[in-house]
Chain A
Amino acid sequence: MDLKEKLVSSFIAFENQVDIDSYVHDIRTEAIKSFEDSGFPTKKNEAWKYTSLKQVLEPDYSIFPRQNKALEYAKIEKYLIDDIDSYKIIFVDGKYSSHLSETTHEGMDICLMSSVLNKPKYASVIENYFNKAVKKNGISDLNTAFSKEGAFIHIPKNKYVEKPIQIIHFSSGNESSLMLQPRNLIIVDENSQLQIIERHQNLTENEVLTNSVTEIFVNPKSIVDYYKIQNDNKQASLIDTTSIVQERSSVCTLHTFSFGGKLTRNNLTFSQNGEHIESIMKGITIIEDKQHVDHNTLVHHIKPNCESHQDYKGIFDDKSTGVFNGTVVVEKEAQKTNAFQANNNVLLSDKASINTKPQLEIFADDVKCSHGCTIGQLDKNALFYLKSRGIPEKEAKALLMYGFANNVMQSVKIPELKKRITNIIANKLGVKIGFNL
């Protein structure tokens, strides 16, 4: 039985675990039908041309993990940004870990999907927002069908959330191979501000496949900063679908740091539903061995006077492969749109490769749109310049790569996070550096 069949036939067992007389379950039922029709995407699908899931779908994944394995804080501490005060929503093998987490219902909801899905108090919020942002396709339908756990965050209007929220999914290795399908819903009401850090971490060498869906609603005048740290081990694959709907005069910035994993696919979409919206996407990808990272972005400019900025940097070593597929759609009504897209890549080895494909679909006539992509090697003259000052080759290369990635780092607003990312990069490059970016 392949994974698709296994998932479809498991749906009945899943129904025993959830309330089937609910609004959400009607959506799930429809989603499993759609998934049954479409299945997993293959390379025949244009959007998956350069990313094959074939190998990732092979293991016999456990779909419903056994009992929660209690993890000690000391064991996971290093995966947290622990030098700042933060809310934490932590899952172990897909199940909420209350003793590792720090949530709240005081003046705002920073809690769990499972605790709100069937509560009458939240019924209208769920009906207004659940599954409303995400683009329907095989991957997202599959997540929707099995959606029952993840982070639920609802920030009321005029609220500045001072502490960042860390959402972390651990895999304990309790199952020899595990499939996780977290479902997050984040709603930020008018004129509020929020910072989120998300991470997926496999703690052993057992296989993990995560199919994650996050919907984010940024209401008028709100500001959201979202950071994704993708620095997992080589047994972990991640398909991340993040769909963001922005309303007028809001600003949403999303950083994706892709430093490792067997296969990582990011489906990121922004829909601009009002005027004067800013959508900012930044990414740094640094991978080696046979790792694969695919960034698939879509910005939908619907209304006039909005901006979008995309800046993705990639450094590929060994036989690693990268994909950047960025689409910008500017609707006829979206005059005075300013859309900028850049994808710059450095290949450190002859066997590394990147497929980059910008796509602009413009139906308005008074817009500024630009895109540019580059693929190159490290500048030899720059390398000689650094070496001639006494900096050894390895450190000199690292310095050039830092410089290359630096303008993406500049927009990270949490200093401790910036420091952490700098250290992760230094570790990856095998250097010790005496400064922070």
Chain B
Amino acid sequence: MLSIKNLHAKIDDKDILNGINLEVKAGEVHAIMGPNGSGKSTLASVIAGKEEYEVTDGDIYINGESIEELSAEERAHKGIFLSFQYPVEIPGVSVTNFIKTAINETRKAKGEKEMPAKEMLKLLKDKSSLLEIDRKFLSRSINDGFSGGEKKRNEIFQMAMLEPSIAILDETDSGLDIDALRIVANGVNKLKSSKNAVILITHYQRLLDYIVPDYVHVLHNGKIVKSGTKELAIELEEKGYDWIKEEVKN
């Protein structure tokens, strides 16, 4: 489904990704862990198509097709979704209007008709209850004055509305209290299917108790230095990252 081959990327002449290789198949959950500054968020941004990053080598494929030349919106139309670590506040645009525009622009790009108002309303209702979101929340400006937890819940709500095939959740667990974490994780688990894939970017094992990964990868200095199963995450939680750094050195 998603295939990353020898991906190198830089920003402002600073190399951040130094040859990432990753294969993600439909129905899988991958966790990417790693110390601060290892390139986790950069990887997420590069997959989503943030223009500030320059891909210097390698490529990203979706279903065998290179997406290197595609804009962020075209990648979204192909089913990529990024849950932002720091969701952007956009005063003056309501969550509902934003979501409606996103859904209809995506449909338009696929040559489909706009979603009928009634259907949209039902979808908004269903998905907001899935994330335990108050309906009043939908008429507020995007992320404007939202608490950290509300912002993250709003991200997963958007994911629920857009039904992406590849969802990248960038530190979705940070800033969440235990109840919010449970709601968000529960939402993600319900959205997970054999047809889509989830990439979790996280510092901590905590989230992985709720969303169980099939694979765990450790990113260090812009490279995946170790891959394993969920047991690797537990080991990292206990021992920290230093032993991996040592292993890489040797």
Contacts and interface: CB of A to CB of B under 8 A. Distances in A.
B169 interface: no
A405 B49 CA distance: 28
Contact of A391 (B49, B81, B84, B101): B101
B102 interface: yes
A382 B88 contact: yes
B156 to A, nearest CB: 13
A315 B97 CA distance: 21
Contacts of A404: 91-92
B48 A395 contact: no
A407 interface: yes
A391 B92 contact: no
B91 A403 contact: yes
A73 interface: no
Interface stretch (B72-80, B180-188, B228-236): B72-80
Contacts of B92: 402-407
A382 B72 contact: no
Given A403-B141, A434-B114, A389 B88 contact: no
Interface in A391-437: 391-393, 395-396, 399-400, 402-407, 433-435
Contacts of B106: 390
B87 interface: yes
Interface string A364-386: 00000000000000011110111
Given A399-B101, A433-B101, A435-B100, A390 B109 contact: yes
B199 interface: no
A388 B90 contact: no
Given A403-B90, A404-B92, A395 B51 contact: no
Contacts of A33: none
A387 B72 contact: yes
B105 A391 contact: yes
Contacts of B88: 379, 381-382, 384-385
Nearest to A379: B88
A388 B49 contact: yes
Contact of A387 (B73, B81, B93, B96): B73
A434 B87 CA distance: 24
Nearest to A435: B97
B131 interface: no
Main secondary structure on A side of the interface with B: helix
Contacts of A381: 88
A390 B90 contact: no
Interface string A33-75: 0000000000000000000000000000000000000000000
A393 B87 contact: no
Contact of A388 (B48, B93, B114): B48
Interface in B35-63: 48-52
A396 B84 CA distance: 17
Contacts of B72: 384, 387-388
Q: Which among B84, B87, B98 has the highest number of chain A CB atoms within 10 Å?
A: B98
A388 B46 CA distance: 11
Q: Which among B77, B89, B102, B158 has the highest number of chain A CB atoms within 10 Å?
A: B102
Interface residues of A, number: 27
A396 to B, nearest CB: 7
Q: Which among B75, B81, B96, B105 has the highest number of chain A CB atoms within 10 Å?
A: B105
Interface in B100-120: 100-106, 109, 114
B198 interface: no
A272 to B, nearest CB: 30
B77 A390 contact: yes
B138 interface: no
A402 to B, nearest CB: 6
A384 B93 contact: no
A228 to B, nearest CB: 22
Contacts of B48: 384, 388
A313 to B, nearest CB: 10
B76 A385 contact: no
Contacts of A390: 73, 76-77, 102-103, 105-106, 109, 162
B112 to A, nearest CB: 12
A384 B51 contact: yes
A388 B48 CA distance: 7
Interface in A238-254: none
Interface in B139-155: 141
Q: Which among A379, A384, A388, A433 has the highest number of chain B CB atoms within 10 Å?
A: A388
Given A391-B105, A434-B104, A399 B76 contact: no
B100 A384 contact: no
A244 to B, nearest CB: 28
B82 interface: yes
B40 to A, nearest CB: 17
A388 B76 contact: yes
Q: Which among B89, B92, B162 has the highest number of chain A CB atoms within 10 Å?
A: B92
Contact of B101 (A384, A395, A406): A395
Given A389-B102, A391-B102, A400 B90 contact: yes
Q: Which among A385, A388, A390 has the highest number of chain B CB atoms within 10 Å?
A: A390
B104 to A, nearest CB: 6
Given A388-B84, A390-B105, A407-B92, 20 more contacts: A382-B88, A382-B89, A382-B90, A384-B48, A385-B87, A385-B90, A387-B49, A387-B76, A389-B102, A390-B109, A390-B162, A391-B102, A392-B73, A393-B73, A399-B90, A399-B98, A402-B92, A404-B92, A407-B91, A434-B114
Interface of B: 48-52, 71-73, 75-77, 81-82, 84, 87-93, 96-98, 100-106, 109, 114, 141, 158, 162
13 contacts: A379-B88, A382-B89, A384-B50, A385-B87, A386-B98, A388-B49, A389-B73, A392-B109, A399-B90, A399-B93, A399-B98, A434-B114, A435-B96
The 8 closest A-B CB pairs, nearest first, are A403-B92, A406-B92, A390-B76, A387-B72, A390-B106, A403-B93, A389-B102, A385-B88
